[in-house]
């Protein structure tokens, strides 16, 4: 079964962290979470004041161990958390490494800015509407969702719009790595309309 590394920082949007963590676990993924610059060291104080304790309190402690076995790197949004991801050299290096090794990267909401900042091949992406100018300013194609797109998959990059699309985002990751049948099985068990 595939494995995932999901990052968390102070200001991360709770639903964008918890939903993929939960859905991917239900699908059989092995999940590791790692904190990035946590003020309290042992937990992230999220966007709406929920405290979440990651599996690893520092990204540096997990990168060398998780990267060889992780199939996807997931960055949840929340403007403060996304800003941390975009400015952290280790996160930027991890994004570049996953992409250069042909592994998956998934971002949601404002975290798409961290993906864009990392450079590399430009693909179609989406995210929170307020980041459109920044994304397009870097020469990336931003899918605004006016056609109903909640999730964009381009190559081995999965992006999504925001908190209200966290379930679709998570199921898209399951489908990308395990196929449509597994996605449908997980969705049905959670009473999610397909």
The CA-based dihedral angle spanning residues 91, 113, 10, 88, taken in that order and rounded to the nearest 10 degrees? 30
In angstroms, the Cα distances linking 194 to 151, 175, 181 are 14, 12, 11
| 44, 46, 105, 109: the active-site residue | 109
Tell me, yes or no, if 46 is annotated catalytic. Answer: no
> Residue 159: beta bridge partners?
107, 152
* DSSP tag of 35: E
Nearest-angstrom CA–CA distance, 158 and 170: 10
- Say if CB 72 and CB 106 are below 8 A apart: yes
Comparing CA positions, the residue from 113, 25, 42 lying closest to residue 8 is 42
Nearest-angstrom CA–CA distance, 76 and 13: 7
Residue 178, SS3? Answer: helix
Phi-psi region of 179 (alpha: psi -120 to 50; beta: other; left: phi over 0): left
Residue 114, SS3? Answer: helix
Residues tagged active-site: 109
């Amino acid at each position: 079964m595939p494995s995932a590394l999901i990052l968390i920082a102070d200001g991360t949007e709770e639903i964008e962290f918890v939903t993929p963590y939960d859905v991917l676990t239900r699908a059989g993924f092995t999940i590791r979470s790692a904190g990035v610059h946590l003020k309290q060291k042992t937990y992230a104080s999220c966007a709406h004041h929920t405290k979440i304790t990651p599996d690893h309190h520092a990204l540096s402690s997990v990168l060398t161990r998780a990267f060889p076995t992780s199939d996807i790197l997931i960055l949840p949004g929340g403007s403060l958390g996304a800003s941390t991801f975009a400015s952290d050299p280790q996160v930027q290096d991890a994004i570049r490494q996953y992409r250069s090794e042909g592994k998956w990267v998934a971002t949601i909401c404002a975290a798409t800015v961290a993906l864009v900042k990392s450079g590399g091949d430009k693909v179609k992406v989406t995210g929170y509407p307020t980041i459109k100018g920044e994304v397009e300013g870097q020469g990336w194609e931003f899918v605004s969702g006016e056609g109903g797109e909640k999730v964009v998959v381009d190559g081995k990059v999965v992006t999504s719009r925001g908190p209200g699309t966290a379930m679709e985002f998570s199921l898209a990751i399951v489908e990308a790595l395990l196929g449509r049948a597994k996605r449908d099985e997980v969705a049905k068990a959670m009473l999610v309309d397909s």
